[in-house]
Amino acid sequence: MAVVYDRVALIGLGLIAGSMSLAMREAGLAREVVGYARSAETRDTAREIGLVDRVTGTAAEAAEGADLVVLAVPVGAMGAVAAEIAPVLKRGATVTDVGSVKRAVVEAVAPHIPEGVHFIPGHPLAGTEHSGPRSGFASLFRNRWWLLTPVEGSDPEAVARLAGLIRAMGANVEEMDAAHHDLVLAVTSHTPHLIAYTMVGVADHLKRVTESEVIKYSAAGFRDFTRIAASDPTMWRDVFLQNKDAVLDILGRFTEELFVLQRAIRMGDGQHLHDYFTRTRAIRRGIIEAGQDTSAPDFGRSQVSGKDA
């Protein structure tokens, strides 16, 4: 495949950035991939395993002269990184990010982007429960969605080029408004994650059921909630703080709905429960028909076996 960007700079060297590097190199999409991570340990590991072509000592050093800069740090750190690299950004370069929320990233990053540099926020709907520089693999994005939320006045050519890179890594690209992105993700990802975290917390505090029993019988449903609860705490803290409005909105609706079902249980209203459980089948059917289901449910995370895929 043809080179899309001469030099790509990855700021942050975790699962997403690492997988991007491997995917880009596998397909020959960049002449050089440089990377930086705040942690010296991560930089050492990246050097040791040859995750990128070159590991730099600062974010600015990585970004300088790059044609594409990818901000792959927790959402709460995006603003500071943008401020640091802004002075060295090349005219005509594109800056994107891979954060799970978009409005907050636009607010934090856009003000730092100099004239003549394209800022195109993005969000790959891909991940695993693993994190760190050793967790990446080239096929992570294959057949996954990668949402782009171009800002007012984004250069269509720069957007098309970035979309081309993403498609060449195997993902499907869709564009939408940042606010809409945040609401869609609050429904399909953020709130489900918070709920799963909560359920794990409940089990952890319960004294009458021992932890060993919770673990032993976890395959009855609970186990899949714990998979989520192993996700990176910093990333998820930032997601909830930065997508506060949409998450609180969906949580409010969730609680209302839960109370209605809880009341039906308390009152012994079997008809209500049966009708509700029957209605929810339609969405499931839609997902199967849309080809978005696999035999390996994974909370949006590729299986570890994906490494071998």
Using CB under 8 A as the binding rule, the residues of this chain from 186 to 205 that contact a second copy are 187-195, 197-205
Q: Which residue of 25, 122, 206, 207 would you call a contact of a second copy, by CB under 8 A?
A: 206
- Stretch 287-306 residues interacting with a second copy (CB under 8 A): 287, 290, 292-293, 295-300, 303-305
- Stretch 9-68 residues interacting with a second copy (CB under 8 A): none
| 131 binds a second copy per the rule CB under 8 A | no
d(CA 62, CA 8): 9
- Stretch 87-106 residues interacting with a second copy (CB under 8 A): none
Among the listed residues 125, 114, 116, 115, the one whose alpha carbon sits nearest the alpha carbon of residue 149: 125
Burial class, 50, CB count within 10 angstroms (exposed 0-12 / middle 13-18 / buried 19+): exposed
CB atoms within 10 A of CB 219: 9
Q: Which residue of 6, 41, 107, 211 would you call a contact of a second copy, by CB under 8 A?
A: 211
CB atoms within 10 A of CB 249: 15
Based on DSSP, count helices (H) and strands (E) in the chain, helices before strands: 13, 9
Whole-number minimum distance, CB 128 to a second copy, in Å? 10
Whole-number minimum distance, CB 228 to a second copy, in Å? 7
Token pair of 146 as six digits: 């990668």
| 107 binds a second copy per the rule CB under 8 A | no
Which residue matches tokens 């976890």? 218
Q: Closest CB to a second copy among 69 and 75? A: 75
Q: Closest CB to a second copy among 103 and 118? A: 103
| 214 binds a second copy per the rule CB under 8 A | yes
Q: Which residue of 77, 80, 114, 234 would you call a contact of a second copy, by CB under 8 A?
A: 234
- Stretch 245-284 residues interacting with a second copy (CB under 8 A): 247-248, 250-251, 253-255, 257-258, 261-262, 265-266, 268, 270, 273-274, 276-284
Distances (CA, A) of 19 to 34, 91, 306: 13, 27, 12
d(CA 130, CA 303): 10
- Stretch 109-128 residues interacting with a second copy (CB under 8 A): 125
CB atoms within 10 A of CB 179: 14
CA atoms within 13 A on the CB side of 232: 18
Whole-number minimum distance, CB 288 to a second copy, in Å? 8
- Stretch 161-190 residues interacting with a second copy (CB under 8 A): 174, 180, 183-185, 187-190
Whole-number minimum distance, CB 218 to a second copy, in Å? 5
Part of the chain binding a second copy (CB under 8 A), chosen from 26-34, 79-87, 131-139, 207-215: 207-215
Q: What is the largest CA-CA distance in the chain?
A: 67
Compute the C-alpha angle 124/68/4, nearest 5°: 85
Binding track, positions 61-80, relative to a second copy; x by CB under 8 A: ---------------x----
Using DSSP, state whether 166 is helix, strand or coil.
helix
